[in-house]
A and B are shown apart, each in its own frame.
Chain A
Amino acid sequence: MMRRFTLIAVPYLWLLLLFLVPFVIVLKISLSDTALSIPPYTPVLDWAEGIRAFFSQLDFENFVWLTQDDLYWKAYLSSFSIALVSTLLTLLIGYPIAYGMARAPEEWRPTLMMLIILPFWTSFLIRVYAWMGILSNEGFLNQFLLWLGLIDTPLTILNTNTAVYIGIVYTYLPFMILPIYAALDRLDGSLIEAAEDLGCSRLLAFWLVVIPLSRNGIVAGCFLVFIPALGEFVIPSLLGGSGTLMIGKVLWEEFFSNRDWPVASAVAVVLLLILVVPIVLFQRNQQKQAEAEQ
């Protein structure tokens, strides 16, 4: 009995102390006044004072500030739209790859799988960095296009939102491909043949049979790209420009450059509230899938 208690208590306490408590602190600081002292916040509530003090001293000033300054809601909105567009782009690029993998000869598949997973093990930072040399004005892409004669003057891609889209699609592509491939791999090929025998064209059979049967994979892949893309920091700060507004970057700057901890905490709390919806939907999709498999 004692042993079972230890087994549960150790990881439980670890997560309570290093995951849950820090969130309570973020919430608490987001409700504090900004003071010029270091650390730059004055504790609004003391733990000892109890619940009544908690409610009487709450201060939503930082959240009000988020709604008053254009920067924040614009950043939330543009993060949302950048994440959404890049998720759709990743789907459009990832689906044909996953489909090709699922139709490849059996003996190729482990190798193809490994080739998809391999980039995931290499440093994220390096994969983003690789695009800096490609997209810059003297970069390979411009050199290549100039050489082809498609353009006369180099295109400005680095430090724009286009570069951010490319970066997100590139780094999160494996997350889209793997769940779709898993869904397509289970698909019974005779269903497609049946559809074709019944008079469907190949395209129509694909649209009516393959796509609906891989729906769970598509949904899972989209969430796996959208959720991390929304709070992304590295990609917008390396590939994006001064005009690229993403909330992860705003939070980082609020914290490291402006040293305004209460506002940074408020930004984090709102980001979390926005993320709750897709996260819950994702969980539900996964659960449904697990039930369907049983």
Chain B
Amino acid sequence: MRLSWFNVVSLTLGFAFLYIPMIILVIFSFNESKLVTVWAGFSTKWYAELMQNEAFLNAAWVTVKVAVFSSTLATVLGTMAAYVLIRGGRFMGRTLFSGMIYAPLVMPEVITGLSLLLLFIGIGLDRGVLTVVLAHTTFSMCYVSVVVSSRLATFDRSLEEAALDLGCTAIEAFRLVTLPIIAPAVISGWLLAFTLSLDDLVIASFTTGPSATTLPIKIFSAVRLGVSPEINALSTLMIAIVTIGVITASLVSKRNLARQRKDEQLAVRAS
């Protein structure tokens, strides 16, 4: 197939639409003036100011803590759930279980947030870092389990059976055979859970207390008052981190794929 002029135009306009807003945001984070729409010369002063803003730094620290704990917990629970869904066979309440895995993916955040808050109040749990971690773990474990179960569903089960026949216990078979094969999916599940947690405003707003303000909550309350160059600087830093992360991840996976192919070729030649 060949690109027609229509394809070229729609791709160009489409990617321009996706990227120009973020490019403008980044450019104006280096603006000298406080006015965010008038260019007044290059400056990095907003970054310097951001680094001295304790409230933002504290919020960033809380956010990272919450994201690390909740994504790790979500990865463990989500991988277990995926294993149960794909390999668990039949058990009582399986339909309810798979329903509870898929439902949070389509649930409006306002409802998830509200319901969790009412639960925490109902059982008398003080709202803070812990409650946000519990909330984030709950919805992101579902994303992890979807990612991991799609990998589990496609891999050859006879490899596990071979390991069991050769004398592995079930745990050894999981650790030595299954885990290395699903590892890329587990890692991308963790990354997904981590970014979902970093990004979440609505559920965190419902489930947090005054002691734990996360970065999105802080940004949201600042942004409601209008556009500010400091927020532009903060956004630029976040965009930069994500871009570097995604590009690194894709380069690493490309290299791994290339190495795997080479190994396979060597194996074919050797046999």
Contacts and interface: CB of A to CB of B under 8 A. Distances in A.
Interface of A: 3-4, 7-8, 10-12, 14-16, 18-23, 25-26, 29, 39, 93-94, 96-97, 99-105, 112, 114-119, 121-127, 129-134, 136, 138-140, 143, 170, 173, 189, 227-228, 230-234, 237-238, 248, 251-252, 255-256, 261, 264-265, 268, 271-272, 275, 279, 282-283
Main secondary structure of the interface of A (DSSP, over half): helix
Contacts of B93: 12
A22 B226 contact: no
A125 to B, nearest CB: 5
A203 B44 CA distance: 52
B21 interface: yes
Contact of A96 (B14, B78, B118): B14
Contacts of A232: 108
A92 to B, nearest CB: 11
B1 to A, nearest CB: 5
A115 B18 contact: yes
A256 B206 CA distance: 9
B115 A25 contact: yes
B22 A14 contact: no
Given A99-B10, A231-B108, 14 more contacts: A11-B78, A14-B137, A15-B97, A18-B116, A96-B14, A123-B238, A125-B220, A126-B25, A133-B25, A140-B24, A143-B37, A268-B111, A279-B106, A283-B102
A234 B202 contact: yes
B18 A173 contact: yes
B227 A132 contact: yes
B101 interface: yes
B199 A238 contact: no
A19 B138 contact: yes
A129 B118 contact: no
B67 interface: no
B21 A134 contact: yes
B115 A139 contact: no
Assign chain B's interface to a size class.
35 or more
A104 B3 contact: yes
Main secondary structure of the interface of B (DSSP, over half): helix
Given A124-B199, A133-B24, A234-B202, A11 B14 contact: no
A252 B235 contact: no
Contacts of A238: 220, 223-224
Contacts of B62: none
A14 B141 contact: yes
B108 A114 contact: no
A53 to B, nearest CB: 18
A250 B100 CA distance: 26
Contact of A118 (B118, B135, B243): B243
A233 B202 contact: yes
Contacts of B36: 133
Given A15-B101, A22-B115, A251 B8 contact: no
A115 B10 contact: no
Nearest to A192: B1
B73 to A, nearest CB: 9
